[in-house]
Amino acid sequence: MLDYKLLAALAAVVEQGGFERAANLLGLSQSAISQRIKLLEARLGAPVLVRASPPQATAAGQRLLNHVQQVRLLERDLRHDLPQIDSDAGRTRLRVALNADSLATWWAAAVAPWCERERVLLDQQLEDQDVGLRRMRSGEVAACLCAVEQPVAGARSMLLGEMRYLAVASPAFVARHFPSGLGSADVRKVPAVVFGPDDQLQHRFIRQLGVEGDFDYHLCPSSEGFVRMLQAGVGWGMVPALQVTAELRSGQLCELLPGWSQPVPLYWHYWRTGGQLLEGLTAELARRAPALLAADVQG
């Protein structure tokens, strides 16, 4: 079998973001961690880490991390069946990638009872919904939420529902920039707010209006910051209806095209060999997510 002491050192360095923290976690010296990584690289004949700050796994290292996570999930099932195997039945860590807007809205309510019941600690990683499968493919996470249906090799996907995005801005912003509707100004010159380089929702909205080309935008990589920027009148932007129910009702925000929305499907992707823990979370999400995602319709 593989030498799991070496693999555990690699996982600790990547998950903790450094050699010193990995050493603290495992109760070892930094030089012991460093030796284990070097030994692993010598056996493999290839580097497993890029020595940057924080250290990052090479392609070979990521493949090993993928394996470590699969083994951890299988060990958890073993512990369930043979609880005497170790006395320190601590909490299990599970790495999941999800889009910021899910994390900012329905996700916590969906997973909270399950985390408590199954004694799971979540390592949540943000990924835009259009590119979330990147971390799944690289083996960094055991599951992910994204807008793409097609699963990566070794995984399955399941549709949970959709998030409806609305184009909104503050009433003062609309009065200033679109005094007589969206057609009354060159929308490319009215500042938008965009979450990050991978966020194409605003681009799609503008194309939907029949306008081509580049437009002015602020970058704001925070879901809550995004809504604050819109409320403060910095720009217009696309937000999940779920997230701005209260702001729309109170009149702090209003829709640029009332009644129009852009649906974005949400698929749950999970490893086939993730064991009972991942299957349990999948069943829990299938039960709870659709109602939480549909709450914006009643709102």
Under rule CB under 8 A, residue 117 binds its own copies:
no
User: In 104-243, where does DSSP find H-type helix?
Assistant: 107-118, 133-137, 171-177, 201-208, 223-231
Q: Tell me 64's DSSP state.
A: H
* Between 3 and 20, CB nearer to its own copies: 20
Angle 209-132-62 (CA atoms, 0-180°, nearest 5)? Answer: 150
**Site for its own copies (CB under 8 A): how many residues?**
46
Q: How many CB atoms lie within 10 A of CB 167?
A: 23
* Between 156 and 247, CB nearer to its own copies: 247
Under rule CB under 8 A, residue 299 binds its own copies:
no
* Between 225 and 260, CB nearer to its own copies: 225
With CB under 8 A as the contact rule, the residue among 219, 283, 286, 291 that binds its own copies is: 219
HEC string of 218-277 equals: EECCCHHHHHHHHHCCCCEEEEEHHHCHHHHHHCCCEECCCCCCEEEEEEEEEECCCHHH
Tokens linked to 10: 């690699």
Under rule CB under 8 A, residue 21 binds its own copies:
yes
Residues 148-207 that bind its own copies (CB under 8 A): 191, 197-198
Q: Across-strand partners of 120?
A: 92
Q: Say which residues have a Cβ less than 8 Å from residue 13's Cβ, sequence separation at least 6.
A: 19, 22, 33, 37, 49, 55
With CB under 8 A as the contact rule, the residue among 58, 231, 252, 261 that binds its own copies is: 231
Residues 80-109 that bind its own copies (CB under 8 A): 90-91, 100, 103-105, 107-109
* Between 167 and 169, CB nearer to its own copies: 169
Contact, 154 vs 269, CB < 8 A?
no
Q: How far is the CB of 45 from its own copies (least distance, A)?
A: 23
Q: How far is the CB of 72 from its own copies (least distance, A)?
A: 16
* Between 167 and 193, CB nearer to its own copies: 193
Q: Checking DSSP bridges between strand 155-169 and strand 237-240, what pairing results, if any? A: antiparallel
With CB under 8 A as the contact rule, the residue among 46, 78, 89, 112 that binds its own copies is: 112
With CB under 8 A as the contact rule, the residue among 144, 220, 266, 285 that binds its own copies is: 220
Cα–Cα dist 78/130, whole Å: 35
Under rule CB under 8 A, residue 221 binds its own copies:
yes
* Between 56 and 156, CB nearer to its own copies: 56
Residues 120-139 that bind its own copies (CB under 8 A): 121-126
With CB under 8 A as the contact rule, the residue among 223, 239, 274, 285 that binds its own copies is: 223
Under rule CB under 8 A, residue 74 binds its own copies:
no
Tokens linked to 272: 């086939």
Tokens linked to 261: 């929305």
Question: Could you tell me the CA-to-CA distances from 93 to 16, 29, 82, 156 in Å, in that order?
Answer: 13, 23, 19, 21
- Identify which range of 79-87, 151-159, 219-227, 263-271 contacts its own copies by CB under 8 A: 219-227
Cα–Cα dist 294/163, whole Å: 8
Write out the residues near its own copies by the rule CB under 8 A. 16-18, 21, 24-25, 54, 90-91, 100, 103-105, 107-109, 111-112, 115-116, 121-126, 191, 197-198, 214, 216-225, 228-229, 231-234
